[in-house]
Each structure stands twice: as structure tokens, then as C-alpha cells.
A and B are shown apart, each in its own frame.
Chain A
Amino acid sequence: MIPATPELLKTADGRPLREALVAAQARSKRKAFLLVLPLLVFVLLTFLIPIGYMLKRSVEHDGFSKSSPTLTAWFHANPEFDHMNPPEGAFAALVTDLAQMQADKNTGMAGTRINYTVPGSISLFKKGAREAGDMQPPFKEAMLKLDPAWGDPALWYGMESAASKWTTDFYQVAADRKLTATGWERGDDKQRIYLYLFFKTFLVSGIITLICMVLAFPVAHLLAVLPMSKSSLLMILVLLPFWTSLLVRTTAWIALLQEQGIVNDALVALGVVSNENRLSMMYNMTGTIVAMTHVLLPFMILPLYSVMRVIPPSYARAARSLGATSWTTFRRIYLPQTLPGIAAGSLLVFILAVGYYITPALVGGAEGQLISNLISFHMNKSNWSLAAALAAMLLAAILLLYWIYDRLVGIDRLKLG
């Protein structure tokens, strides 16, 4: 049988080849899909939906908009009002809403929402709501008499912004920026802590990754070249930390490194440091770096080991027989072949370190806190939206890094085991 067109092959009974192929594979494809379906549902329910919800929370907050319908309507009617000197109508709407809030007992929520951008708003709102019921017009004078802060333009910018439940306020706070009438501005010096903390988190993660790399390389090499019996024992030592509670391991570091700890006692006993000048290695950045390096080291060793294990010793031998010294052999032959392992381990350790929470919380003290500790702090304070905004920024930063990494190294060169 000669096909009508050369590029469209047909099966013996005249069906197009492509169609026949799809039909022949349909059953096995359906089966494969059913097999992964539980995992798909699991990932969707426990991963994608919560992350989506978190991202939504970072741009949504109805604490103020829900309880201030009158003022919201007024803002809509007067989009061009003078923030420096709001008119009587605005104050009238405000007083109406404050009185309702007092009745509904949700002044706190509204005040909290405004408080994110204008500190001190919670007490202002509570005081205003208590008095609003008895207030007589003109409301502007009455309110300003009650507290001159009600005339603060920043407060009116804040309330206008919060009148919509969709907001970028939390990202502005998280990025230490303020959106004002004149554009983006740097926030108040006292409140500018987040970008610095992001920077510090990435720097510390980088340092930890570097230390892990230097420590893990010889261990992984030893694991890969030792005879089976010895390397199994070493592997158990490497994996031992995984079998111990993270809390126990971290507490062990406290026992070792604190001012009255074993290391300091030993140093004093040896006369290296005097009793008055004991080293402070705990509850600061040193503590965070030491303990996190220890916790994350296996994540560097294992990918390195899996790559080194499959590098045949004959490469090194070949290089030596071709006239290379042992250093040249290491630099030109061995090291380049371990790059996929170094890359995988570094990416793994770095990403884990950036989001690490428990260890810095326990041993970091005030100085050794990282961004995730602040996220946790805001979550504990029920400031979910700011926590979500910070977490989303962290996620974006890691995705950006991942993208750069892909462009530089190539994800297909990763080898995790």
C-alpha cells in the first residue's frame, strides 16, 4: 500500500499512524495517570492550596474595610479629597463607623489593620470608638479635640488604603518602603528591619553553605573510596544526626558552646582564655552558624558522595599515567567531575538554610535571628498578612536564585543521588 501523502503514514487498515499510536497508548497512559492521582491530590491539598492561600493573605486584609462601610463609601464619593485637611463629611462618616465598631466590638481589628502602616492607631481607634456614640457635630472639631492625631495625613492615607480589602501595604512594610503621594519612599529608620534581615539571612546561608562544602568534600571523598565495611561505618556516623531529634542536637551545642559550657571550661582550664573573658559562642551569630552547619552538613555530604561514588578511580590513574601531578589530577580531573554534586549540595543546603527556623530560634539569641524567625514572630502575633508577605518574598527570592542557578549551571546537571 502506498500512502497518499508521504508525510502522513497510515496503518495497514488505513487509520492515520499518529491516531493509531495514541489509541494504542491510551490505556497505559490512563493507568499511569490513575497511579499518580493520589499524589497529585495530596500535593494539591497540602502544598499548592496552602501556598495559594498564603499568597492571597499577603495582599488581602478586611479588618478595616469590613467594619467601616460609611467611610469606605465616602472615600469612593470623594476620591480627590485633601489628606492634609479632610473635610467635615469624612469625619462624620468616621464617627458613624466608630460608633458602629464600638457596638459590634471590632474596633481592635480595624485599629490593628491601620496600625500596620500607622503605628499607635490601635489605642487611637479604641479611644475614638468609646467617645463616638456621644459625639455631637461638628465632628471634625470634636475628633481633633479628642486627639489631634486624627488630623494626621498619614492616618488618612492609611485609612483610604485600608478601605479596600486588597492591599500592597504588607509588601511595602516587608520591603521597608512606603507608597505616598510622591511615590516610593524609604520607611522610617526605626522600622526598616526586613530588608536588612533578608540580606543577613542570605549572607549567613551563603557562609553556612561554604563551610558545609569545605567540611563535606573530604568526608564524601573518604566515603566514596574507603572499602565497604569502613565506609558503611562512616556513613552511619554521617546519618546519625538524622536519627537524633533536632532539639537534642541543638541543645547539645548549647551545652558545648555556652559561656559556662564545655568548650569554654576547657579553654579556661588550658589557660587559653581567662575566666573573665570567656568566649561568647552561643546566643549570637556564631551559635547560629555552628549549629546550622552541623544540622545541614549531611545534605551536602550525601549528594557529593553519590556523585563521587560513581567516578571510577581509573580517571585519576589515567591522569597520573599521562603525567599529571596529584594536585593537577585533583584540580583538572576530579574536581570538575564532582561539580554536579557540589552544585546539588550547595543548592540544597542554601535553600534549607534560608528558611531555617528552629535552630536560630534556639541558639541565635537576638543577633542570630533570621528572616524565618521574624515570619514566625508575626504569625504568633496573628499578623498573618505581613508574615505571608515576608514568606512570599522569601519564596520569590529563592525562585529567582533557582532561575539564575539554572542559567549558570543547568538544572539537568544536578545530581541528588
Chain B
Amino acid sequence: MSQSGAQLGGKQSASTAFVVFDHVQKSYDGVSLVVKDLNLAIGKGEFLTMLGPSGSGKTTCLMMLAGFETATHGEITLDGRPINQVPPHKRGIGMVFQNYALFPHMTVGENLSFPLEVRGMARDQREAKVKRALDMVQMGAFLNRRPAQLSGGQQQRIALARALVFDPALVLMDEPLGALDKQLREHMQFEIKHLHESLGITVVYVTHDQGEALTMSDRVAVFNDGRIQQLATPQDLYERPDNSFVAQFIGENNRLAGVIEDISGGRCLVRLATGEVIDATPVNVTTIGAKTVVSIRPERVEFKPEMMPEGTHTIEAEVLEFIYMGDLFRTRLRVAGSDDFVIKARNAQGQRVLVPGEKIKVGWHPQDARALDP
């Protein structure tokens, strides 16, 4: 991947960006690197999500930005100012923690007042600000409660209000919704998104939940093995993954391994191990004879003959299992010797229901099948 030049020069250039990671490396033990040469520019007012599996280095990056970890090499700048040597309490960055970290011995009001107190703000001014921040998250009635008396969702709102009450320009969120149930989590995603839009703050959000990343972000940086694998908008990330890690990590994905037989005009033919030939779009394969993995989203696979795109190859499939999921039908097929080829169809009026044992043909638009690194 060529993340350094392309990403810095992409949506944000290093000179106008609000937060810049410049060739940042981090090692804890002096033997291995947790973060390997990170280059990232975040624009003012942007909602950027660091997404990745645990141990991918995303939280370490957030902690370096917050000031709780120091970069082993490279420089981090905030609003043009290098902050490597600035202690956390002087960075003025709001932060929402995974377990909220609300001070248990203080009331909600005292929790919110704390950042204002340490800044030496006068009492009446503090009270006004605390009230405004609580109203912002619709928690005005809970001023005198203790955190332990609040539900998880309420604590989450208080944590959010506390990170915003001193008007930071940058707010970091470290898996803030991880402890909430699904419904509340989805609701909070929208609230955080709306707060971000109405306040115009810059948000750096860390999560391992891809749904959350796609829903909320302006751009998503997918981390793996200490590197950014792809930095793109949610739509690009889902529809045009750069490599097989991203394709695999974001959303559900069918993988067919094979060898490039022909490349021309932005299309390629791939011969699978079982002998069939399929159409695909070459992404990071260039040479005939190279090994590749073709990645196709389950909802982009066609199985009705009348819908099959013109002039493309189809491939034999056997229906193994049909799962009713409410809004979707999920069908597992055997395709080219692989038992876990999945297709998804909308539960629409007149949708065809596949029966296990049935033999069908599947195909797809070549632009939906991406030939990636093996």
C-alpha cells in the first residue's frame, strides 16, 4: 500500500490539516513495533474513525494523540503545533473512555464541573456551562445523581457531556458505545453524529465495530498490524476495498481463490482452482499468472437468470442451506468446491426462495468482483 503520499495528499493535505501524524512509530518493548510508520492527516471538523481488530494499533494511536503514550519516533501536531512534549492536561483534548471513567465519588454536576474548576473558571460561569452541556445530551434533570445511580446509556451521555463541557476543538472517543446494548448503541451513534455536526468539533473515534464506523464517519482508517490498510469514505471502503484484509474485515464477503488468466481494459479473467473462469476487476494484481483472491459481496451476487449481466461468465452452484433473517434471506451455496459462498436477497414481494439441494447458476457484474492480493 502507498498510504503515506496518497493519504496525506488525499482529502486533507498536511499543511491545512488539524491533526497530523507524521511518520509515527511506537514500540513498547524495544523489540517490535505496535505502530509502524503512521501517516495520517485529519481535517478540522472531520469525523474520523480508526477501525481495526484488537492489537492493530488503533488505540495506541489514540493514546499517543491524547498524551498518555509517547511516540517512539515521528511527530504528532495539533493545529500546527507539535505536541509530543505537551503533557495531556495541557493539550485541551476532550476524551470519552470505553468504561466512561465517570468519577464515582462525585455527582454528575461535579463531574462536569471538574474540567472547568481545574481551569480556574468562576462558579456562576461553571454552573451555566454545566447546565448547557447537560441539556445538550438531554440529561438536565440528573445534575445531583451519582454515576452509580445511572444506567449505562445515561452514563454514556454524561461522559460525552463531560468531554464537551470545556469546549475542546478535538474530541477522542475510545470505543464509547462498546458496553451498550444494540438498540441503545444505534441510537447513540446518531446522537454523537448529530452533536458532531451541530458543534463543528473534530472527532477521532476508535472502534472495532465496522457498522459503527460506516454509520458515523466522514472517513475511516482501517488498521491492521500497526499500519493503515485503507483510508477512505465509508462507501469506498465497503464497495472498493483496496486489499483482501479490508474486504474481509468490512462486511460479509465471498472469497474465491484463483490465477489471473487475462487482464485488459480494467477487466480480468480469473481461473479458479476447480477450472471455472470468472470475471473480475483487477485492484492490486497486474500480471497474468499471478495468484489472486476475488472478493464479492453476498448482496451483489445474482442468481436469477433474467438478472444476469450480459456477456459475463456464470458459475455452477448448489444450494446448501437457507436462512430466514427477517429483512433478508441468507443462502449458503457450494461454489467452486467452497462450502461457504453466501448470497443475500431482500425479503421483497415475490422474492424467489431457494431450496437446499437445488442446482443454480450464479454470476455478477465484473465491477463488483474485485481481484485482490492473495
Chain A positions within 8 Å of B, measured between CB atoms, are: 312, 314-315, 317-326, 328, 332-333, 336-337
A413 to chain B, nearest CB (A): 11
Q: Are B166 and A320 in contact (CB under 8 A)?
A: no
Given A317-B68, A321-B93, the answer on whether A312 and B88 have CB atoms closer than 8 Å is no
Given known A314-B97, A314-B98, A318-B97, contact A323–B103 (CB-CB < 8 A): no
* Chain B interface size range: 20 to 34
A317 near B105: Cβ-Cβ < 8 Å: no
Q: How far, in whole Å, are A323 and B66 apart by their CA atoms in the complex?
A: 11
Beyond A320-B89, A323-B115, whether A336 also contacts B105 by CB under 8 A is yes
Contact A321 B114 (CB under 8 A): no
Asked if B104 is an interface residue, CB under 8 A from chain A, the answer is yes
Closest to B174 in A: A314
A315: which B residues are within 8 A, CB to CB? 101, 103
Give the interface of B toward A (CB within 8 A): 66-68, 87-95, 97-99, 101-105, 114-115, 118-119, 162-163, 166, 172
- Secondary structure at the B interface, as helix, strand, loop or mixed, is loop
Most buried by A among B66, B68, B94: B68
| Cα(A332)–Cα(B172), bound, Å | 23
Assess whether B68 is in contact with A323, with CB atoms less than 8 Å apart: no
B88 touches A317 (CB 8 A): yes
Which residues of the partner chain A approach B101 to less than 8 Å between Cβ atoms?
312, 314-315, 317-318
- Kindly list 20 other residue pairs between chains A and B, CB separation below 8 angstroms, not including A318-B95, A320-B88: A312-B99, A312-B101, A314-B97, A314-B98, A314-B99, A317-B101, A318-B102, A319-B103, A319-B114, A321-B94, A322-B114, A322-B162, A322-B166, A323-B90, A323-B92, A323-B119, A324-B115, A326-B89, A332-B114, A333-B103
Residues of A within 8 A of B166 (CB): 322-323
Which of A323, A333, A337 is in CB contact (< 8 Å) with B89? A323
- With beta carbons under 8 angstroms apart, the residue of B68, B94, B105, B162 that contacts A320 is B68
Nearest opposing residue in chain B for A329, CB measure: B89
Which residues of A have CB within 8 Å of B115? Answer: 322-324
Q: With both chains docked as a complex, state the minimum distance between the C-beta of B266 and any C-beta of chain A, in angstroms.
A: 48
Residue on A with the closest CB to B95?
A321
* Alpha-carbon distance A333/B92, docked complex (angstroms): 19
Q: Which residues of B contact A325 (CB under 8 A)?
A: 89, 118
In the bound assembly, the distance between CA atoms of A215 and B164 in angstroms comes to 39
On chain B, the residues within 8 Å of A322 by CB distance are 89, 94-95, 114-115, 118, 162-163, 166
* Contact partners of B92 in chain A: CB under 8 A: 323
Contacts of A332 in B (CB 8 A): 114
Task: Output the least CB separation between A156 and chain B (Å).
Answer: 64
What would be 5 A-B contacts, judged by CB atoms less than 8 Å apart? A317-B88, A319-B114, A321-B163, A322-B94, A323-B89
Query: Given the interface contacts A315-B103, A337-B105, does A324 sit within 8 Å of B114 by beta carbon?
Result: yes
CB distance from B107 to the nearest CB of A (A): 13
Closest B-chain residue to A320, C-beta based?
B88
Contacts of B119 in A (CB 8 A): 323
- In the assembled complex, the CB of B201 is this many whole angstroms from the nearest CB of chain A, namely 15
Which A residues touch B89, using CB under 8 A? 320-326
Task: Please give me the 10 A-B residue pairs with the lowest Cβ-Cβ distance, nearest first.
Answer: A322-B115, A318-B101, A321-B95, A314-B101, A320-B88, A324-B118, A336-B105, A314-B97, A323-B118, A323-B89
In the assembled complex, the CB of B110 is this many whole angstroms from the nearest CB of chain A, namely: 10
